Amino acid sequence: MLKEKIVKIKQEALGAVEKAKNVEEILQLEIQFLGRKSDFVGILRQLKDVSAEEKREVGQLANSVKVEIQTLLEEKKKSLTSTFDAQAEKIDVTIPALKMRQGHLHPLTKIQNEIEDIFTSMGFEIADGPEVEDEFHNFDALNMPKDHPARDMQDTFWLKPQSDIAKTPTNAANKQHDTNKNTDARILLRTHTSNVQIRYMEKHQPPFRIIAPGRIYRNEAGDSTHEHTFHQFEALVVGDEINVGNFKFIAQEFFSKFFKKEIQIRIRPSFFPFTEPSFEFDISCTVCDGKGCSACKQAGWLEIGGAGMVNQNVFVAAGYPSGKYQGFAWGFGMERLAMMKYKIDDIRHFHSGDLRFIKQF
Ligand code: PHE
């Protein structure tokens, strides 16, 4: 009789589990059929009163039924939690989809691309040079000998000399070898893109026109207009009869294309060891067109950067004969240009990694 009762419980359980509609009901059924107060457990308690043989048979049956019911409950629970209930979900197909966010170019990269497009359309080549540079290409060849005060214009990040690196424990074996001689070329992070002037001229002969955009480094404290790491772009045009008029024309063309409006150029006397004569140059204010406003502090002009006619000493350092060629060069900050174009008030935004800034471009 116990056996029949167990089989009956099993059938009831199978039917009930089949009909269960949610996880709560499953939990209820578990208690009802297998819980401490269930008929099933009641039957097991009666086992002590039956013969040894029946005890064994009923015991085995009870065990397999228990496992069967448990598995069934488990499976049903799984199917209920994974079932998609369209009725309950109530999908509104008219709701606009979530916007997919796509990556895009950094504002500085965009500016650089734009600059490169404008200059290549004017027949310029794009040149490149190393950011980790030697003293010769960053200073000496640009007419700045070792003790020249002009070097103080640009605070430099010097890199560890090779011999210091050789003194680290892993290189201790080399130490003996290196102590007596000082053949190291001093290495630094380039302080301007003017190193590319030398790098390019070492390998090419005039006439040519190039620009060289790139990252540069200066060991100085940051504020809203200064960063230790920023970008410049250099221009260098060399030929037999290049003059200041060519510079003004090319600069004016470029800035008018870049700001998509008529731009005037103004030059003021200045000093750079690698140019003679040297000048600072300004462009007419891009906000008020020269009338005077808060962006240009009522001056009507915005300072852009340094320029000049290439000093003959620079040509000589690059391997050209003195007096044979004329050229102009300039260099200015790309961040500043981007800030003017997009009206950005703090240079530190560019490298902040702040997505609220980046996403605006
Ligand atoms: N290299 C100069 C600077 O970084 C800019 C410059 C470039 C000036 C070329 C004249 C000619 O300040």
User: pLDDT tens-digit profile of 248-285?
Assistant: 999 999 999 999 999 999 999 999 999 999 999 999 99
pLDDT tens-digit profile of 3-13?
888 889 989 98
With a cut of 50, say whether residue 109 has pLDDT above it.
Answer: yes
* Residue owning the nearest CA to atom 5 of ligand 1: 331
Look at residue 171 in the predicted model and tell me its pLDDT: 52
Residues 6+ apart with CB under 8 A from 175: 166, 167
**348 band by pLDDT with thresholds 50, 70 and 90:** very high
Do the beta carbons of residue 276 and residue 298 sit within 8 Å? no
Give the pair of three-digit tokens for residue 95. Answer: 């709701």
The verdict on domain 107-358 having CATH code 3.90.1570.10 is no
From 151, 274, 314, mutation site for ligand 1 pocket: most ligand atoms within 8 A of C-beta: 274
pLDDT tens-digit profile of 12-21?
988 888 888 8
**179 band by pLDDT with thresholds 50, 70 and 90:** very low
Task: Give the rounded distance of the alpha carbon of 215 from its chain centre.
Answer: 14
**Strand-strand pairing, 208-217 and 125-126:** parallel
* Residue found under tokens 């080549």: 125
Residue of 53 and 326 predicted with greater confidence: 326
Task: Give the rounded distance of the alpha carbon of 277 from its chain centre.
Answer: 39
Mean pLDDT on 335-349: 91
Give the pair of three-digit tokens for residue 257. Answer: 């294309």
Helices 244-259 and 334-342: angle between axes, nearest 10 degrees:
40
Question: How many C-beta atoms lie closer than 10 Å to residue 180's C-beta?
Answer: 6
From 152, 153, 155, 194, mutation site for ligand 1 pocket: most ligand atoms within 8 A of C-beta: 194
* Residue owning the nearest CA to atom 4 of ligand 1: 192
Residues linked to residue 310 through DSSP beta bridges, in sequence order: 275
In angstroms, rounded to a whole number, what is the distance separating the alpha carbons of residues 278 and 296? 23
Alpha-carbon distances, residue 229 vs 192, 217, 218, 226, 314 (angstroms): 11, 5, 6, 9, 26
Mean pLDDT on 77-106: 80
Least confidently predicted of 144-153, 168-177, 205-214, 286-295: 168-177
Mean pLDDT on 32-54: 87
Instruction: Report whether residue 193 contacts ligand 1, using a CB cutoff of 6 Å.
Output: no
Mean pLDDT on 288-309: 92
Look at residue 120 in the predicted model and tell me its pLDDT: 98
Length of the chain: 361
* Residue owning the nearest CA to atom 9 of ligand 1: 330
Determine phi and psi for 21, rounding to 5 degrees: -110, -15
Cα(first)–Cα(last) distance of the chain, in Å?
81
Residue of 300 and 85 predicted with greater confidence: 300
Look at residue 44 in the predicted model and tell me its pLDDT: 84
From 154, 155, 272, 275, mutation site for ligand 1 pocket: most ligand atoms within 8 A of C-beta: 272
Do the beta carbons of residue 51 and residue 58 sit within 8 Å? no
Does residue 207 have a cis bond before it (omega within 30 degrees)? yes
Determine phi and psi for 17, rounding to 5 degrees: -60, -40
Instruction: Report whether residue 213 contacts ligand 1, using a CB cutoff of 6 Å.
Output: no
In angstroms, rounded to a whole number, what is the distance separating the alpha carbons of residues 86 and 68? 31
Do the beta carbons of residue 249 and residue 231 sit within 8 Å? no
Residues 6+ apart with CB under 8 A from 152: none
Mean pLDDT on 94-111: 90
